[in-house]
Structure 1
Amino acid sequence: MSPASGPGPRWLLFSFGMGLVSGSKCPPSCQCQAEEVICTGTQLTEYPPDIPLNTRRLFLNNNSITYLPAMNLGLLSDLVYLDCRDNLISEVMDYTFIGVFRLLYLDLSSNNLSWVSPYSFSMLSNLVQLNISNNPHLLALNKYTFANTSSLRHLDLRNTGLQTLDHSAFQNLLTLQTLYLSGNPWKCNCSFLDFTIYLIVTHLNHPADDQTATCVEPELPGLPHHAGGEPRLRYMSIHPTWTTKDYIFLLLISFCIFAGTVPPWLTGVCAVVYQNARRKSSDAEDEDEHGQPVEVSRRISREGRTRARTA
C-alpha cells in the first residue's frame, strides 16, 4: 500500500473536506449571499457558528451577543466589514481582532463596553472607520488604544463616559479626518489642555451636530470642547482658581510659619537688648575705676603750684 493510500492522508483529506464544508455553511436564522452574512435582529446570544470562511461583510447588529471570540473571528481572514452595534458586549480583550487584519470598518456602538484593552485594535492597521459611540460605561481609553490603527480616518466617540483623553493617543493617527466627541462629560481642566490644543493644531473635522461637545466641569461649564485652547482655559492653567479651602489652608500654613519664627525673633531681640545693657554697665565701671586716680593727680598738681607761689 502506497503512503498516499494509507489511513493518515485519508484522515487529513477528510478533515480538510469537512473544514471546507463547514466553512461554506450559513448560520441558522442568518442570510448568506455573495460573501455577505446578515444576522441582524436574530436574537443571537453568542457569536454564531458556521460562518463561511470567505465572508467579507458580517452583520451581527441588534442582538444580545456578549463576547467576540478571537479564534472564530480569526478564521475570517478576508473580512473587511464588521457590524456589532446594539449588542451586550462589555469588553474587548487583547488581540480580539488578530486574524481580521484586512478589516476596514468596525462598529461597536450601543453596547455595554466598559473596558477596551490597550491592544484590542493592535492588528487593525488597515482600519478606516471605527465607531464605539453610545457606550456610557466606557470611562477611559488607554493611550495605546489607537497606536497601530494608522489608517484610521473616522473615529466616533460620542455619548460615552469619557471625561478626558491623552493627546498622545492620537499621535499615530496621521490620516484622521473626522472625530466625533459630543455627548461626553468632558472635564476641561489643565490636563485637558494638551488635547484641546491638539484638536486646534490638527484642524480635525468636527461635524455640525458635534457642536454640542461641551465642557461639564470644573470651571468652564458649557464651553465648547474645541474652545478649550482659548485664553480662558490657558489663563486657568497659569492662574488656578482658589477655593475657600485653599485660602484656609494657606492661612494655616502662614500662621504655622509665623508661630515658628516669632520665638527665635523675640529671643534675638532680648539677647541684643541684654548685650547693650551689659556693655553700658561695663563702660560705666571703667569710668569709675580710671576717673578716681586722674582726679587725685589733678588735686596734687594744684596744691604744688599753690605752695610754690607762697614760697
Structure 2
Amino acid sequence: MTRAAVMGAGSWGTAFAKVLNDAGTEVAMWARRPEVAEAITASNQNPDYLPGVDLTGIVADSDPAAVLAGADIVVLVVPSQTLRANLTDWRDAIPAGATVLSLAKGVETGTLLRMSEVIADAGGIGFDRIAVLSGPNLSHEVAARQPAAAVIACPDTARAEQAQQACATGYFRPYTNTDVVGCEIGGASKNVIAMACGIASGMGLGTNAVASLLTRGLAETIRLGVALGANPVTLAGLAGVGDLVATCTSPLSRNRSFGYVLGSGGSMAAAQEATHGQVAEGVKSCTSIRALSQRHGVEMPLTSVVHQICHEGLSVDDAVGLLLGRRVKPE
C-alpha cells in the first residue's frame, strides 16, 4: 500500500488527505499545532478547518519526522511563503526516494521562485522527484465528495502516475502532464485574479465586469506562463481556466472573499477576519508575481492594480478607473 505524508492540516490539506484515504492510500498528516493533530486522531475530525468531515482512517501528529517516516509520497500543503522555512526543518526527514507533491500555490517573495524551485532549493530535492497538483479544487466541495478534477505535473511521468493512482477516486479525477511551469503559474496567478473579481463583486459590478476581469486575467496569466516556458494549452485546461473559474466565482474561495470585503469598503484587517484567519495567498503573491512579470517584461495590469490596493493604499474606486481608463487596442 502506498503511504502518503500530508504536511499541513488546513482546509485543503485536510480535504486532500481525505481524497488520498478514499483512494486506498495510507495517510498520516502533520499539523503545526498539537491540539489539531490530537483532534484528528482522536475524533476523526478537524474541527478548526473542516468541522463535520469524517477523517476515519487518517492519523495525525505534530512531529514531522514521525509523519514523514516511510512515506512514498510527501504532500506539501503549507502556505507558499512558509514553505522554505518548513522544508529547511524537514529536509533530513524526507525519505530519499519519495515523490514530493506540491499543493502550495504562489511565488516566493524576494527570490521570485516558483514552489517547485523552492522545494528543490530548500529541500535539496531533484526536479525529477517534484510533482505539482493544480485545478478547480475548492476544499469544502472536495471534502464533501463532490466531483472535481485536477492536473498532476512532473518531469518524470512515472512519478506523476504514482501520485495520480494515489489520489484517484470516484469523485476526484486527476490527469497528468509534464508542464510544471504552466501548472504553477496558473495556480499562483488565479489567486490574484480572484481577488480582483471579488473586489468588483463587492463594489456591486455585474457579471459582465467579472467575466471581463476573469478573461483578461487569464490573458495576462498566459503571457507570463509562456514567457517562463509554459505550454499555453496547459493554461487553457484545468490548471488554468478551470482553477481560475472556480476561484474567481465561488463564495468558498478565500481570495475572492478577501477581495469582496475590500470592494465593499472593508479594510485589509476586516478582509482577513472574513476569511477566518486562513491565508489568502493572493495578498502576498500579487507582489511577487508582479515583480516576476516585470523581470520578464510581461504586462500584467490586473496583478499590478491588486498589488497597489493591498500594499500601496490605492482605493478600489481609483482602481476601477485605472482599469477602465486603459487605452483601447486590439485583443
Q: TM-score, normalised by structure 2?
A: 0.25
Q: TM-score, normalised by structure 1?
A: 0.26
Query: Which structure carries more relative contact order (alpha carbon 8 Å, separation 6+)?
Result: 2
Structure having the higher helix fraction is 2
Q: Which has the larger radius of gyration?
A: 1
